[in-house]
Amino acid sequence: MYQKYVHMVEDFPTKNVRYHLVGNEDCEFLQNINPVADAVFINHPHYDYSEKKAIKFSQPKIKILIAGRYDFYMQDKCDELFEAMVKSADDLLSHFTITFLGKDWEEPVAKLQAVGFEVNNIRFAPDYIEELIKHDIQITPIGVGTGTKGKVLDAFANGLLVMGTFRALENIQVKTGESCILYNCPQEVITQLHNIVANMTDYEKIAEEGRKAILMFHGRKLVADKFFRLFEQ
Say how far apart CA 178 and CA 89 lie, in whole Å.
27
pTM of the model: 0.92
- 178 pLDDT higher than 80: yes
- What is the rounded CA–CA span in Å between residue 26 and residue 13? 17
Distance between CA atoms of residues 43 and 92, nearest Å = 36
**Per-residue confidence at 233, pLDDT binned at 50, 70, 90?**
low
Percentage of the chain beyond pLDDT 70 is 100
**Averaged pLDDT for residues 137-159:** 92
- In this model, does residue 186 exceed pLDDT 80? yes
Report strand pairing: 137-140 vs 118-122: unpaired
